[in-house]
Structure formats: structure tokens, C-alpha cells
Structure 1
Amino acid sequence: MGSLRTAGTARCLALPESSSTYLLQELKMIWDEVGQEENERERILEELEQECQEVYRRKVNSANMLRIQLHQALAESEAEFTNLLLSLGERSFPGRPEKMNGTLKEQLNSITPALQEMQMKKEARLKQFTEVQTEVQRIASEIAGRSENEVVTVNEDDLSLKKLEEHQSELQRLKREKGDRLCKVEEYKVLICNFAKIMGMDPSNVLASVHPSLLIGANEQQKKNISDDILNKLNTMVQQLKEEKNHRLEKLHSLGKALANLWNILDTAMEERQPYGQINIFSLTSANGMLGPGSLRLEKIQQIESEVQRLDQLKASKMKELFIKKKAEIEEICKISHMDVPYQTEMDNIMELIMSGDVDHDNLLKTMDGYIYKTKEEATSRKEIMDKVEKWITSCDEERWLEEYSRDERRYSVSRGAHRHLKRAERARIIANKIPGLVELLIEKTEIWEHGRKKIFYYDELPLLEMLKQYMLTLKEKEEERCRQRD
């Protein structure tokens, strides 16, 4: 029985067999020499057998764990490879072996290069996604007016080229929108600068009041705020400046016309007009005309406004003098035309208003200018008749001289100048003979004038038509008298 156990123990320890056999034999020799008991020998051999089994078990377990790990690593690699294919949106990968043959290590070694290549491809794709999405978020933040502190999160479950193209398309759309918005911002800035310069404002201060980012240099355009809020504020500022410009331009036009009117009324010397000559030119230009820098500066408009107020006060102090001058002009026209002064009552009322100070000076001058115009029109309508009246009066003077000359008994005496009187008498006789025809023509034209105007034609406060008819009656009586005398 001891030999069998020895043989079994030897089989159990037969790795290598020669060494274990030799050691067992050496142990047996020692035991024999020592006189080791058989029971003790059995116990020791059993212990050796148990220890040998434990060593084998540990080695088997270790080998089994390695096999499990290799199976798990292989499964994980295949799963990761499959996930990478799905994530990258690819159906297959050329570097991946179609059939897995050989040992587990061989299979794992065969899939590892393809997996590493796929991982590198994923990293490259992930970098592309990160760059594109970061740029998309940055431009979207600029357009939305948000800060750029948000962290970009890439969905690693979908890194397909289709998804990347979608992000790239979105990026291109945002870039175009950004470009359009930057162009719009620049257009607004140019308009604001032009309006500000024309009105003598600092464009930088105006732009800064909208948003500080508008003052960033061209090399930092990407940092500009181009949100809807900024565009709306810029548009509002442009509209405000445009309205202010139009308001100032209208005010300048009004002041320029008022200034020119006052200069004409007050007969202002050219030396006094010179400092405001350019303003007067501006007042005559259209609203769409070209205006230089500072043309509508508030201080300049206020200066003109002060000058208009000063001249207006001066005009008020000279209004009585201006009124008297215009009234005298009307009276002179009436005197030359031998007609009554019209609007006498109205002008007396205006004079009372001037003395009381309760009068609109501009309306007063317009009223007086209207009276002058109507008086001149009246005088013009009377001119043809007045010319003939003057001719008639001159003819009557000649006729009276002829009558006096005819009664002079010495008219035929030889004296100095007698021949001249004879010649004048001949001329006077010719003129006198034409008087009846002239008076009849005057009567006809006067009747036409009165019928057209529906009023009486007065000459020095006397009805001209009655004067003419009375004269014709007198002529008739004279002619009858002369006939009686001849008979």
C-alpha cells in the first residue's frame, strides 16, 4: 500500500517526473535511515498530495480567469468596434477581419489594430464636431447677444458624416447671417456717423451710447454684438438722428427765410449780412441737398435764432416807421393817379394797433403789401384813361390860351415875338379842334372802366364822367353862343 501511495504521489507530482521521482526516492531513503514511521510517512505524503492539488487548482483558476478576461476583452472590443461603427455612421470597416479564427489572444490581437484605428478616427471626428459646434455656438451667441461661456457638449452617439454636414450647413448659414448683420451694422454706423458729423456731434459718443462693442476695431469684428437688440437700437438711433436732422434743417430753412425777410424789411447792410450768408444759402437748399460737417450744429442754429430774435425786436421798434413809409407809398401812388386813398379806415386801425403794441408784425406787413399791390393794380387800370385826361387838361390849357389870345386886340401888331404867338395860336387851334373827339373817347373808355369795375371813376375826388359830360355841355353852349354872335 505504501508503494502505491508513493506511486500515486509521484504521478501527482510528475512535473517533471524524473525530478519528483528522484525527490521521493531521496525522501524514502532519508525516512528509512531515520526510521520514520509508516503512519507519519502516510500523513506527510497526503499533505504533499493536497499541497500539489492546491497548486494545480490555483494554476487552473488563474488560467481560467485569463480565459474569462480574454473573452471579456474580446467581447468588449467587438462591442466597442460595433458602437464606433454606429457612432460614426459606418456599416463596415475594411481593416476589421470578417472571421475570428485562432486562439483568444490571436483573435484579440487581430481586432486591436482595427479598433485603435477606429478610435483614432472617432477622436478626429469628435475634434471636427467640437470645432464646428464651438463655432456655431460662438456665432449664435453673437447673434443672440449672449455670453460665450457656455460649454460645448458633443453627442458622441451620433458622429456620422451626415450629422457633421448638418452642423457645417448650420455654421455656413450662421456665417452668412453674421455677415449680413455685420454689413447692416456697418450701414447703420455710416449713417449715424454722417448724421452726427452734419449736426456737430461726436460719432464715438453716439455709437457708445448704443453699445460699447460698436467701437471695437475692424480686426476684432468677430467680437461685436450683432444681436437683434443691437440692430433695433441702431435702427432707432438712425431714425432719431434723421428726425433731429430734418427738424434742424426745417428750423434752419425757417430761420433763413425769416432772416432774409428781416434783412429786406430793415434794409440791412451787406456787412451785417455777411456772417450769416452761408446760413441763408442752406435755407434755400432742399432737404435732400448735400450738407457739410457741422452744417446743422445746434450752436449755429441757436446763433441764427438769436439774430432773428434781435432783428425781430428791431423790426418791432421800426414798425411804425415801416408802416408810415408804406402808407406814404400808397398815398404817392394815389396822388400820381389822382385817385382817392383806399383802405384809409383800415390803415387808421392798423396805426392804432401799432401804437398799442397788439399786432402781428408779419401779418401787418403782408396786409400793407397787399394794399400797395391793389393800389398799384388800380393805378395801372386807370393809366390809359389818366394819360388821355392829362392830354385833355393840356388841350384845355391850350384852348384857354387861344381864347385869351383871340381877345387880345394887339395880337396883330408888329412887336417882338408876335410871329411865335401866331405859330402857337395855330397849334392851339388844331389841338382845340381835337378836344371834342378826345372827350368823347374818354367818355367811352370811362364808361367801359366803370362798367367793368362796377364803381365810379374819380379824378381828384370828382366823378370824371360827370366832368367830361359837363365839359361837353359847356362846349355846346359855347358853340351856340358863337353861332348867335355870328348871326
Structure 2
Amino acid sequence: KVNSYVNAVHELSEIMSFDFSKALSNVHKSLTDSSKAHSKSISTDTLARLTELVESLKKEKHQRLLKLQGLGRTMQELWNLMETPMDKRRRFYDFSSLLSVPADDALEKGCLSLDIVREAEDEVKRLNALKSSKMKELVFKKQRELEEICRGVQMDVNSDAARQSLVDLIDSGDCDLSDILASIDDQIEKAKEEALSRKEILDKVDKWRQAKDEEKWLDDYEKDENRFSAVRGAHKNLKRAEKARSLISKIPAMLDGLTTKVKAWEKERGVPFLCDKQPLLQTLEDDIVMRAQREEEKRQFREQKRLQGQLATEKEAKYGSKSAKKKPLGQSLNTDN
């Protein structure tokens, strides 16, 4: 039984890197005497003290393991928080194998030494010191990421007000910086989901706006009286005009499709779809009304031209063409002759 306890102390000494001989000597000097002059003490007192030593060392092993596991988890959180490069984490990789190890499992030699514990404590202290200095920088980095996501899909965001609010919150000390970061991360995730839901509509808005730009170009082009003249690039403009007319003919269908999509989006979320800080649905409806007015004006203009042509034809039929030539003076006399 004494040998069993001695072996247990030896195993624990290797795991926790303490002086095996000194530990046994404190129990009874005969336990470390390598000479055969004295036999090992196997008294009841020695057994009791060995039992106490082994239990104490097992408890110490358990405490060190729990401490290193806690330090390891803290390190990982701080590394992830501050985006520490992998090469800076490498020397602590052995800690990762201890994070889920039960206390009774066999452990590697020296993995629970006091030097290892102190090294882990020093790393956590270093990271905590960096945390306070870099946390504000991380908060604003995350805020910029959030703003970029919002701007990318034209979501309304007041950058100046949001940043000033963050500054006031941090300076007040009423909120932990980790909580602020967690809150911004939640906002980023929600913004990404919102951006995905807006992308299809915004892609259609881009196509509609491109068609409107071509429509404006075609209006200006058709007002140019020299557009058919043999100038450089005239054939390219003719081809562009042909494509523009085809694209413009699709604008009413684009507007109908967009309006349907926006109404469905707003019904699902209960908020207006903003584009360039304006309700998109109102913009689409205004364009539909304006387009109808323009078509009516064109129809009235064509009708007016048709009526003018019709009046001119009726007048010509009744009074003759103004361009008809009159007979020359004296024509009948010349004929008689």
C-alpha cells in the first residue's frame, strides 16, 4: 500500500512538476533513502500521512486543471475579441487540449506545472491590458462595418449620431465594452439579413434607373436635327438608339414588377422601403403618374398633328393646292395664233 501511494505521488509530481523526493521526505525520510541500510517506514502514521499527501496532491491537480481551463477559455475569448493572429496564439496551443479534460484523466508530463499556470496568468493579464486600449478601436471598427453594410443596400443610417452615441456610452462607463461589441455584432447580423432581403429589389431599381437614363439620352438624341448626318460615330448612336427604344418599351413592366415587390416587402415588415432616404413606393408611383401624363401629352400632340393634316387636306380639296401653277398671261391668245 505504501508503494501504491509512493507511485501515485510520483505520477502527480510528473504532471505538476514538483520535487518528488522532497514531498516524500516530508512524510518520512526513509521513503527517499535509496540505500538498503534502512527499510521504508510502513507504520500507520506513515500510511496516514501518505494518504493525506496523495489526497492533497489530487486536490491541487484538480484546482490547477480548473484554473488553466478557465484561463484558456478567457484567452480564447480575448484572442477572438481582438482578432489576435494565429502565430501569436501558437505557443499556447497545448492549453486547448486541457479545456475539456476531466480531472481524473491521465495528463501529459508537466502540463500542470506552476510555470505553465503563471505563463497562462501572464498572458491573460497582457491581453486584458491590451483589451482596454484596443476595445474602443474595435467598437468603432465594428460600427464602420455596420455602416458599410447599410450603405451598400441604401439602408438609412445616421453615422455621426451613432458614433457620438457610442462615444458618450463608452465615456460614461455605464456599459461594459464587451456588451457594446456584442450589441453591434447583433446589429451587423440583422443588417446582413436585411441587406439580403433588399438586394433583389435594389438590383431591379438599378435596371429601371439605367432604362430611364437611356430614355433621357434618346429624348436628347431625337431632338438633334443633325443625328442622321454623316458625322463620326453616327452609326454607333443609331445602334444605341435602337437598343434604347427596346429597353424603354420594358419600363412599364419594370415599374409594375417593382411596385409589386416593394408592396410585398413592406407588408411583410410593416415599414416603408427606403431608397436614397425616400420611400421607394412613392417614387415608383410618382414615376408611373408622370409617365402616364407624358404619354397623354404625346397622344394629344399626335392627335393635334393629325387634325391639322386633315384640315389641310380638306382645304386643299376644296380650294385647290396653293402650289398649283397659274396659267401665264396671254396664254389663250398664243393658242389662237
Superposition TM-score tier, normalisation by shorter sequence: 0.7 to 0.9
In the alignment, what sits opposite 1:143? Answer: none
State the shift of 1:266 in Å.
Answer: 3.7
In the alignment, what sits opposite 1:244? Answer: 60
| Aligned 8 A contact 2:255 2:284 in 1 | yes
In 1, the alpha carbon distance for the partners of 2:51 and 2:178 equals 41
Q: Tell me, which stretches of 5 or more residues in structure 1 are unaligned?
A: 1-181
In 2, the alpha carbon distance for the partners of 1:222 and 1:211 equals 8
1:225 is aligned to 2:40? no
In the alignment, what sits opposite 2:286? Answer: 470
In the alignment, what sits opposite 1:263? Answer: 79
1:277 is aligned to 2:95? no
**Residue 298 (structure 1) aligned to one of 103, 109, 114:** 114
1:428 is aligned to 2:234? no
Higher deviation after alignment, 210-219 or 310-319: 210-219
In 1, the alpha carbon distance for the partners of 2:212 and 2:134 equals 46
**Residue 202 (structure 1) aligned to one of 19, 26, 33:** 19
Percent sequence identity over matched residues?
40
| Aligned 8 A contact 2:30 2:40 in 1 | no
Deviations 1:202-221 (A, max 9, x none): 23444455566655779888
In 2, the alpha carbon distance for the partners of 1:475 and 1:197 equals 86
In 1, the alpha carbon distance for the partners of 2:160 and 2:62 equals 44
| Aligned 8 A contact 1:255 1:283 in 2 | no
State the shift of 1:478 in Å.
Answer: 1.8
1:404 is aligned to 2:236? no
1:449 is aligned to 2:265? yes
- One-letter code aligned to 1:421: N
State the shift of 1:195 in Å.
Answer: 3.1
In the alignment, what sits opposite 2:194? Answer: 378
Deviations 1:82-120 (A, max 9, x none): xxxxxxxxxxxxxxxxxxxxxxxxxxxxxxxxxxxxxxx
Higher deviation after alignment, 198-207 or 421-430: 198-207
Change (3 A) 1:362 1:322: same
Deviations 1:230-271 (A, max 9, x none): 46x656555544443333333323323333343344444556
State the shift of 1:186 in Å.
Answer: 4.6
| Aligned 8 A contact 2:28 2:41 in 1 | no
- One-letter code aligned to 2:96: I
Deviations 1:41-68 (A, max 9, x none): xxxxxxxxxxxxxxxxxxxxxxxxxxxx
In 1, the alpha carbon distance for the partners of 2:187 and 2:55 equals 46
In 2, the alpha carbon distance for the partners of 1:224 and 1:213 equals 10
In 2, the alpha carbon distance for the partners of 1:361 and 1:279 equals 29
Deviations 1:339-375 (A, max 9, x none): 1127986764432232345542322222222222222
| Aligned 8 A contact 1:457 1:463 in 2 | yes
Give me the CA root mean square deviation.
Answer: 3.2
Where do residues 15-30 of structure 1 align in structure 2 (5 Å cutoff)? Answer: none
Q: Tell me, which stretches of 5 or more residues in structure 2 are unaligned?
A: 304-337
Change (3 A) 1:432 1:239: farther
| Aligned 8 A contact 2:147 2:157 in 1 | yes
State the shift of 1:418 in Å.
Answer: 0.9
Change (3 A) 1:342 1:198: farther
In 2, the alpha carbon distance for the partners of 1:210 and 1:449 equals 79
Higher deviation after alignment, 419-428 or 353-362: 353-362
In 2, the alpha carbon distance for the partners of 1:424 and 1:477 equals 26
**Residue 183 (structure 2) aligned to one of 367, 381, 385:** 367
Mark the structure with the bigger radius of gyration: 1
> What is the TM-score normalised by the length of structure 1?
0.54
In the alignment, what sits opposite 1:311? Answer: 127
In 1, the alpha carbon distance for the partners of 2:57 and 2:302 equals 99
